[in-house]
């Protein structure tokens, strides 16, 4: 459906904010720490610009459809990598806990891929549906958005429960990724309720507006250079408190390694 002027403006602002975020990550020397996140942003901006060229430049709906579906599937792989990087950074000193987190994330994504394949199979059986691949891509993105949002908030709950002392940048990045996937999930599911044209417009505001706000928050909150502060979801901690937390995590890591020795192989 045609986008309203307000949605087009919001889309343009979100793309510019993501481009600014790519520049800031590179300019402040954070590229190594957030390498996969930067790759995801580059892919997102490239896909957005390509879609705009297809629609407004070549006026090709076929090209638009191919790009939309292709990025719909490919973006979930990038999002998985961003979460993989996020959990790896936070749990780097604790290999057994880190591996357990990775396997949990892999299980989440495996289930979501099965759900996506199931949607395509179900829709392909309906002879009246002319675009099963497109509709399956939409349903798959719905599932991935809510699945990854749930995973991030479970991970944040773990960080708060232990708690895990992190640098300010890492903690901010974790919270913003949770907000990002929550906005995506809301934007995907809202069009399913009520009048489609009205709800689709609202979904666009939430999805694009959420992306814009998360990008602006990232730009304003992430600090360049070395970060020696230690923080938890409950607030900053001093060095003595952090040492006690790290000792607790080390004990959990050792217990997990002893109970499942193959986990580190």
- pLDDT by residue for the chain (265 residues), tens only, comes to 566 788 889 989 999 999 999 999 998 888 888 999 999 999 999 999 998 888 777 777 788 778 888 888 888 889 999 999 999 888 888 888 888 888 888 888 888 888 878 877 777 777 666 677 777 777 788 788 888 888 888 888 888 887 788 888 888 898 999 899 888 888 877 666 655 556 667 778 888 899 999 999 999 988 876 676 778 777 787 778 888 888 888 888 888 777 765 555 5
Q: In angstroms, rounded to a whole number, what is the distance separating the alpha carbons of residues 70 and 140?
A: 12
Entry pTM: 0.84
Please state the domain count of the chain.
1
Tokens read off for 12? 């343009």
Q: What is the pLDDT of residue 62?
A: 80
Q: Which helix (H) or strand (E) holds 258?
A: helix 239-259
- Answer yes or no: are the C-beta atoms of 112 and 136 closer than 8 Å: no
Cis-peptide, bond into residue 245, ω within 30° of zero:
no
Q: What is the pLDDT of residue 85?
A: 92
Q: In angstroms, rounded to a whole number, what is the distance separating the alpha carbons of residues 84 and 263?
A: 17
Q: What is the pLDDT of residue 36?
A: 94
Q: In angstroms, rounded to a whole number, what is the distance separating the alpha carbons of residues 51 and 245?
A: 47
Tokens read off for 28? 């402040």
Instruction: Give the CATH number, domain containing residue 82.
Output: 1.20.1070
69: containing domain: 5-264
Q: What backbone torsions phi and psi does residue 232 show, to the nearest 5 degrees?
A: -130, 165
């Amino acid at each position: 459906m045609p986008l309203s002027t307000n949605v087009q403006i919001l889309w343009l602002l979100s793309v510019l904010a993501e481009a600014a975020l790519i520049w800031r990550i590179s300019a402040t020397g954070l590229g190594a720490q957030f390498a996969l996140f930067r790759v995801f942003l580059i892919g997102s901006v490239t896909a957005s610009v390509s879609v705009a060229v297809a629609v407004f430049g070549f006026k090709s709906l076929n090209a638009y459809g191919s790009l939309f579906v292709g990025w719909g599937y490919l973006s979930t792989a990038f999002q998985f990598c961003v979460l993989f990087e996020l959990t790896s950074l936070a749990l780097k000193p604790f290999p057994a806990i880190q591996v357990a987190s990775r396997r949990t994330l892999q299980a989440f994504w495996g289930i979501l891929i099965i759900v996506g394949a199931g949607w395509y199979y179900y829709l392909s059986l309906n002879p009246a549906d002319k675009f099963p691949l497109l509709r399956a891509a939409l349903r798959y993105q719905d599932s991935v958005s809510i699945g990854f949002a749930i995973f991030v908030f479970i991970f944040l709950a773990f960080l708060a429960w232990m708690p895990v002392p992190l640098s300010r940048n890492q903690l901010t990045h974790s919270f913003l990724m949770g907000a990002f996937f929550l906005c995506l999930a809301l934007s995907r599911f809202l069009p399913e309720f009520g009048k489609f044209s009205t709800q689709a417009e609202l979904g666009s505001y939430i999805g694009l507006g959420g992306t814009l706000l998360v990008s602006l928050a990232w730009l304003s909150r992430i600090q360049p250079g070395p970060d020696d502060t230690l923080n938890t979801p409950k607030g900053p901690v001093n060095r003595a408190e952090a040492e006690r937390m790290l000792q607790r995590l080390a004990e959990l890591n050792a217990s997990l390694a002893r109970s499942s020795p193959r986990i580190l192989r």
